[in-house]
Structure 1
Amino acid sequence: MEKKSYTTEEVAQILKVSKLTIYDLVKKGLLPTYRVGRQMRIDPEDLEAYINRSKKGASTISIKENEFPESPVSNGKGQRQGFNNTRQIVISGQDFSLDILANHIENSLNGIRPLRSYVGSLEGLISMYQGYSDIVSTHLIEAESREYNLPYINKILVNFEYVVINLLSRKAGFFVQKGNPKKIKNWLDLKSPNIKIINREKGSGARVLIDESLKKHQISIHEVNGYGYEETNHLSVASAVAKGVADVGVGIEKTSNLVHGVEFIPLINERYDLVILKTPENKALIPQIQSILNSNSFKSDLDALGGYDLSKTGQIIYET
């Protein structure tokens, strides 16, 4: 009989907290996990043990660092460490390249255990502000300046010191059905009541691209048929278009190659960057990450996936 285990999403539902709170508990070593493929799993007995400790006042579910007691997994200097003195870092974002980055970190950096959080760009930056995430990926465009990422990072990470390193660039655009039966070419076509869009969730880079582009072209969201219908990743959006649930969605070129019955209309080259706080804890981590990004093995793994521009990979875009 297969042993039961929980995903982080299921544990978050059970405890009625956010997924990021669960990641924080894992990082602090308060909730043991193991991995099955790309997913973290939590055994029922470990969850029950954590709940029992919480009832006894040994720990609490909280986003405040100082509300967690010192334990054998803490080094006493405020640094978060997992079991066996392994530091656990959360990498947020949804692109396949981040899974490859996590594998390279795990294989080449001793004492570092990467955890993956599949949240959007804005939620990732907010989680970094709150202390939940260590490496945040972001692809957020500002309509007026057409600048990627920095306007949002500067506003959210106020009074923080950080470095922004390019991961890659990629093409973003419309998913349409094979043959493009509705003859969709640009954003203005979304004003047609005969064209139904499938949207992305609030906080995702694709959603920001949609909203900023509608704003630039002076299109009201009330004019866009299907604006309230959301999916949470590129693959789900492309699949909905392929099935005819919607006529158009926004995503990246790579995903269109994975879904039968979908064509891609490129609109923009988006810059996909990584953000890391310049904390004492990250003093050694930042050059290590940059070294991985610049390595031939990492770039070769990304290049094998196809559809990425790696000309600036590993370059520091901005730092405070």
Structure 2
Amino acid sequence: MEEISLTPEEVAARLKITKNTVYELIKRGELPAYRVGRKIRVDLKDIENYKRQGKKTDLAEEEKSLDLANEARYLQPTEPIVKVAQPTGIVICGQDVLLDVLTRHLEYHRNGIHAFRHSIGSFPGLLALYHEKADLAAIHLWDGDTNVYNIPYVRHMLPGIKYIIIHLACRMQGFYVAKGNPKNIHNWEDLTREDVTFINREKGSGTRVLLDEKLRILDIDRRLIRGYEVEEPSHLAIASAVARGEADVGMGNEKVSMQVRGVDFIPLQKERYELVIRKEDLRKPYIQAVIEILQSQEFKKELNGLGDYDTSETGRIMT
């Protein structure tokens, strides 16, 4: 018979407990689990074995105890941290390589934790944060009416939730074109030329929001852009498509253009890449570790070593 493996969320649904309780059972060794890459999996047979054991511990009371412990942890930060069970991992949404640097630093921090990377765009990241399926979301969403990054979107997409925004870095957004820019593409209006084929980012990504806002403000009809409806899910996929000659132009950040041969970069706009965190999580040790890492000179030096990041405000709490 084919073995069925479940995620912690699916285990929680089957046992009618919270996901944190599942992590606690795994941590104590009461529920066997294993990793597939960076993801935790539990075999269905192990769940059934656990249920058949007839443990005397009432799971509802155990869950209540966990919730009370967490509540005491946040309301009384002077309580020793060792009294509170820490989850086995957190989820960070975003696609930039600097998030890989952050997760590596986080694993080695004294209050660190393993971070699962969810490589999605800005809109899906904020929605995951709103639905409590993620702990942090990295975003770059430009509002054309105010010329402000991120804050207007967070206010509308996280209704009723107090949050903080921490600055990660500034990056340059622009066009990817073939080496030497044979089509002489330099501005937004050039996208509507009949001899130019464009390749787009997916809806909800910060790059797509920047494009659509520019088209709206400049009153450019997107239906005139050849290839507007063709989408790719990352900066790297866009740059690669241009390098292969599948499109004349696409959009993304400058760093990726340096990783793909046969592509030049036309700078258009400096953008703010920032991290959104629920304020209620601020006292958690691993969230404090994230802030400490972002504000450290070691982290900034590593970003500067990668090049093309403006780290003058890295680690600054924006709001």
Shorter-chain TM band: 0.7 to 0.9
Structure 1 pair 277/246, CA: closer, same or farther in 2 (3 Å)?
same
Q: What is the number of residues matched between the two proteins?
A: 284
Structure with larger Rg: 2
- Is it true that 1:76 corresponds to 2:67 in the alignment? yes
Could you say if the C-alpha distance between residues 27 and 201 of structure 1 is closer, same or farther in structure 2, counting changes exceeding 3 Å?
farther
2:314 paired residue number: 313
Partner of 1:76, secondary structure, is helix
1:122–1:254 CA distance, 2 compared to 1 (3 A): same
2:97 aligned with 1:96, yes or no? yes
Amino acid paired to 1:238: A
Worse overlay, 100-109 or 282-291: 282-291
Structure 2: give runs of 5+ residues left out of the alignment.
11-17, 27-32, 53-58, 72-83
Contact persistence 2:111–2:286 (CA under 8 A): no
CA gap of 1:215–1:104, structure 2 versus 1, over 3 A, is: same
CA displacement 1:252-278 (0-9 Å, x = unmatched):
000000000000000011000111111
Query: Which position in structure 2 is the counterpart of 1:230?
Result: 231
Q: Give, as a single letter, the amino acid of the residue that structure 2 aligns with 1:231.
A: E
TM-score by length of 2: 0.78
How far residue 153 of structure 1 moved from its aligned partner, in angstroms, is 0.5
The correspondence of residues 39-50 of structure 1 with structure 2, limited to 5 A, is 40-41=38-39, 46-49=42-45
Q: CA RMSD in A?
A: 3.4
Residue equivalent to 2:193: 192
Q: Does 1:219 align with 2:210?
A: no
The aligned runs of 1:1-320 (5 Å cut-off) are 29=23, 32-34=33-35, 36=37, 40-41=38-39, 46-49=42-45, 75-77=66-68, 85-87=85-87, 88-110=89-111, 112-279=113-280, 282-318=283-319
8 Å CA contact 1:86–1:111 kept in 2: the answer is: no
1: CA distance between counterparts of 2:306 and 2:202? 26
**TM superposition shift of 1:237:** 0.3
Q: After TM superposition, give the deviation of residue 109 of structure 1 in Å.
A: 3.8
The CA distance in 2 between the partners of 1:51 and 1:309, in whole Å, is: 49
Instruction: Work out the CA distance in 2 between the residues paired with 1:247 and 1:204.
Output: 21
Distance 1:27 1:131, change over 3 A: farther
For 2:261 and 2:64, how far apart are their aligned partners in 1? 48
Look up the SS of the partner of 1:171 in the other structure: strand
Partner of 2:79: none
Calculate percent identity across the aligned residue pairs. 41
TM-score normalised by L of structure 1: 0.78
CA distance in 2, matches of 1:74, 1:247: 59
Describe the shift of the 1:48–1:172 C-alpha distance in structure 2 as closer, same or farther (beyond 3 A). same
The structural deviation recorded for 1:281 is: 6.5
How far apart are 1:85 and its partner, in Å?
3.8
